[in-house]
Structure 1
Amino acid sequence: MSYTVEERGNPNTLNYRIFFKNAEGKYISPFHDIPMYADESQNIFHMVVEVPRWTNAKMEIATKDLLNPIKQDVKKGKLRYVANVFPHKGYIWNYGAIPQTWEDPAHKDGDTGCCGDNDPIDVCEIGTKVCSRGDVIKVKALGILAMIDEGETDWKVIAINVEDPEANHLNSRHSISSSFFLLKCFTPAAAFHTWIRSVFRHRGRPAPEARIPGGHSRLVQEVQSILFKIICHDFLIKCDRSKNTCVSSGDSAFSCSADEAKVAVEQTCPFGEGESIPSSVDKWFYYERK
C-alpha cells in the first residue's frame, strides 16, 4: 500500500496541516488507517515520519483532530521548535510514530512503573536517508528504551529503514554482542539520551530518565551489561478505534465517510506560502555538564 500527503495552510503557522491519502486517493487517518505492521511475519513496522532529521519544528500526529493530520505542536499559544544545542542540529534522526499504537495513560507499565503518555509509540530511525514529513516507511526495530518524562512513560524505539544499505546487517537479538551491532545500535541510543538531555536542559526542565527494559535505570553503563529488548506486542497497546475518528471502520459511530473527509479537508486553509521561522530557532546553544 502506498500513501501520499496533501499540505494545507501555511507552513510555520498555526493552520498548517499535512493530510494523508491512500493509493485510491481517499483521505485516511495515519493514526488509525495505516497498519501497524508492514510485514508481521518479519516484525517489520510502518513508521509515519513526523520530523525529518536536522529539522527543528516539533511536528506530530494530531490524535484528537479529524483525520489526524500532522501539525506543529503548540505550547502557550506558540509553535514549538527544538533548539540547536551543540553539536546537534534540530532532531538528530528521522522521528515519528508507529500507527495504530497508543501509550495508555490508564495503564501502568511493568518496566517503568509509570502510565503511558497518551500518544502513539515514538520511533527514532537511524538510517542514512533524510526523510520528508509525512513519509510512510518500513522499519525494523533494533532496540527500545523508555523515557520517563514528568511521571509518564514515553517509549522510544530505535529502528532502521529496511531499505537502508545497513539494515540487513543489524538484528538485535542475534547481534547484541557484536561490535558492529553496538556501533550501529547502542551508539545511536546513547546519542539520543545525550541529545534529549541537552534539549531539556536548554528548556530549563529536568531531563527525563532513560530506562532500558530489564531494570537498568542508567543508559551509560558497561556495554556488556546493557540488553536491548526487541519491541513486541506487549509495548504496542492498540488504541480503541471507536474512540477516534477514522475512515476505515464504517461500523464505528465516530467514523466518517470519504465524502465527509473530503469536505472536512476542503474547509481548511488552502496551501500557501509559509511564514519565516523565528530567528531564535537558528541560534546555537551550549552548555557545560555539571
Structure 2
Amino acid sequence: MANTAYTIEERGARNSLDYRVYFKDASGNAISPWHDIPLFADQAKKIYNMVVEIPRWTNAKMEIATAEPLNPIKQDVKKGALRYVRNPFPHKGYIWNYGAFPQTWEDPSHIDPATNAKGDNDPIDVLEIGQRVAARGDVLQVKILGTIALIDEGETDWKVITINVADPLAEQLNDIEDVEKFMPGFLRATVEWFKIYKIPDGKPANEFAFNGEAKNREFAEKVVEETANFWKALHAKSPNDSGLDVKNLSAGNANSIKAEDVKPILEGKPLSSTVAAQPIADQSAIDKWYYIKL
C-alpha cells in the first residue's frame, strides 16, 4: 500500500548528474522525505513508512541525498560517473524494492555492540519483498519481518526486511521464519546478492555480521527504534556539525523552515518532463550478466 499523502516531482534530465526526485506533501509543499515523512504510518499496528529509492529489477544506484537541501533522491556518483549495480547471475538489478525508513539515522560515532562496527551515517536501509514492483519515490506502508547486517568497509549496514501491508502474502508473513516458509530460497538469494554484487566492479565479496543469518522481527524493530533515537539526537544538536542537511518543514522542530524558504531550492531546475533524458553510458555493461566464481 502506497501512502498517497505524498507525491514526487522529478527535476533535471534523467540519467544525468543533475537529476533529482523531490517530495511534496498533500498541500503541495516541498518536503524532506528523510525528515518530514514520519517513521510510522500506524504506530499502534507497527506499520512503517518506507521511502522507495530503487524499484526492483532496476540497476541505477539511487539514494536520499542526505547532505542536500530537502534531501531529494539522486543517483550515487563515483569518480564523476553515475553508479549502476551489475547483474550477478542469475539476478537482474536489485531483487527487492529498496529504500529507507524516514526519521532514522545510523550514527557513525556509535559502535553497535551486536556487530562491533560503527554506523554508516545514513537512514537505515529497507528491503520490501512483496510482489509489486514499486515506483521510485513511492512511500509504502510496510511491516518489519527481520534484518540482516552487512559489514561494509568497517561500518554496520543494516538491511531491514519488510513486506508491503497490501501484498497478497502480507497476512502470512509476520516474522523472518515465514519468509522461508512462503518464499523458499528468497533469504538465501538476498544474502548471495549482497555478498557478490560488488565483485564485477573488482571488489571483494561482502562480509556479514552473524555469518549472514537473518535476525527476527523483534530484533529488527529494536534496531530501527535505536536508529530513530539517533535521528532525534541528530536534530537536537545545535549547531549541527554532521555535514548532513536536517532542515525540514515539521512544526516545532528546531531545524524547521517555512514553505516559502524552499522555493529557491527548486528554481533553475527544469522539470524532467521538459528536458530530454540523457543516454546511459555503456548500457551493454549494465544489461549483461556477470558469472561469479567465489
TM-based fold match above 0.5 = yes
Task: Choose from 115, 119, 144 the match for 2:118.
Answer: 115
Amino acid at match of 2:98: Y
- Name which of structure 1's ranges 189-198 and 86-95 shifts more when overlaid on structure 2: 189-198
Going from structure 1 to structure 2, the CA distance change for 1:186 and 1:44 (only over 3 Å counts) comes to farther
User: What does residue 222 of structure 1 align with?
Assistant: none
Maintained 8 Å contact 1:32/1:241: no
- For the structure 1 residues 124 and 218, does the alpha-carbon distance in structure 2 shift closer, same or farther, using more than 3 Å as the test? closer
Q: What is the TM-score of this pair, normalised by structure 1?
A: 0.88
Give the whole-Å Cα distance in 1 for the aligned partners of 2:109 and 2:268. 35
Q: Closer, same or farther in 2 for the Cα pair 1:217/1:287, shift >3 Å?
A: closer
1:200 to partner: Cα distance: 1.7
Q: Which residue of 2 aligns with 1:259?
A: 260
Distance 1:230 1:154 in 2: 13
Pick the aligned partner of 2:61 from 28, 40, 58: 58
Q: Does 1:203 align with 2:194?
A: no
Alignment correspondent of 2:221:
231
Amino acid at match of 1:92: I
Equivalents in 2 of 1:35, 1:130: separation in Å? Answer: 23
CA contact (8 A) 1:141 1:160 kept: yes
- Identity between Structure 1 and Structure 2 (%): 49
Aligned length: 273
For residues 218 and 24 of structure 1, the distance between their equivalents in structure 2, rounded to whole angstroms, comes to 43
Cα deviation, 1:188-226, whole Å, max 9, x if unaligned, reads 332111012221221222222222xxxx3243xxxxxx7
Determine helix, strand or coil for the equivalent of 1:15.
coil
State the SS of the aligned residue for 2:144: strand
Task: Specify whether residues 255 and 195 from structure 1 end up closer, same or farther in structure 2 by C-alpha distance, changes over 3 A only.
Answer: same
Structure 1 match to 2:39: 36
Residues in 2 aligned to 1:107 and 1:134: alpha-carbon distance in whole angstroms = 29
2:248 counterpart residue number:
246
Quick one: which amino acid aligns to residue 259 of structure 2?
A
Following the alignment from structure 1 to structure 2, what is the Cα–Cα distance between the partners of residues 227 and 7?
36
Q: Tell me which of 266, 276, 281 is aligned to 2:279.
A: 276
What is the match of residue 223 of structure 1? Answer: none
Shift of 1:85: 1.4
Query: C-alpha separation between the residues in 1 aligned to 2:15 and 2:179?
Result: 38
Q: Which runs of 5+ in 2 are unaligned?
A: 241-245
* 5+ residue gaps, structure 1: 220-225
The alignment partner of 1:141 has SS state of strand
Whole-Å separation in 1 of the counterparts to 2:142 and 2:111: 27
Question: Could you tell me whether the CA contact under 8 Å between 2:180 and 2:186 is conserved in 1?
Answer: no
Select 1:187's aligned residue among 181, 185, 203. 185
Contact 1:126 1:160 in 2 (8 A): yes
Please tell me the root mean square deviation across aligned C-alpha atoms, in Å: 1.9
2 CA distance for matches of 1:187 and 1:275? Answer: 37
Counterpart of 2:82, as a letter, is: L
Residue 71 (structure 1) shift: 0.3
Asked whether the equivalents of residues 149 and 212 of structure 2 are also in contact (C-alpha less than 8 Å), the reply is no
Task: Give the Cα separation in 2 of the matches to 1:283 and 1:148.
Answer: 27
Structure 2 residue corresponding to 1:75, chosen from 74, 78, 81: 78
Q: Distance in 2 between matches of 1:103 and 1:266?
A: 32
1:1-16 superposed matches below 5 A: 2-16=5-19
2:173 to 164, 170, 182: 170
Q: Is the 8 A contact 2:54 2:61 kept in 1?
A: yes
> 2:43 and 2:185 mapped to 1: Cα distance?
27
Q: Does 1:159 align with 2:162?
A: yes
Find runs of 4+ consecutive structure 1 residues off by over 6 angstroms: none
What secondary structure does 1:32 align onto? coil
Counterparts of 1:184 and 1:208, CA distance in 2: 27
Q: SS state of the match for residue 115, structure 1?
A: strand
Contact 1:15/1:269, CA 8 A, preserved across alignment: no
Cα displacement string for residues 68-112 of structure 1 (whole angstroms, at most 9, x for unaligned residues) = 000000011110001111111111110000000000000110100
Are the structure 2 counterparts of residues 25 and 39 from structure 1 closer, same or farther at C-alpha, using a change threshold of 3 Å? same
What TM-score, normalized to structure 2? 0.87
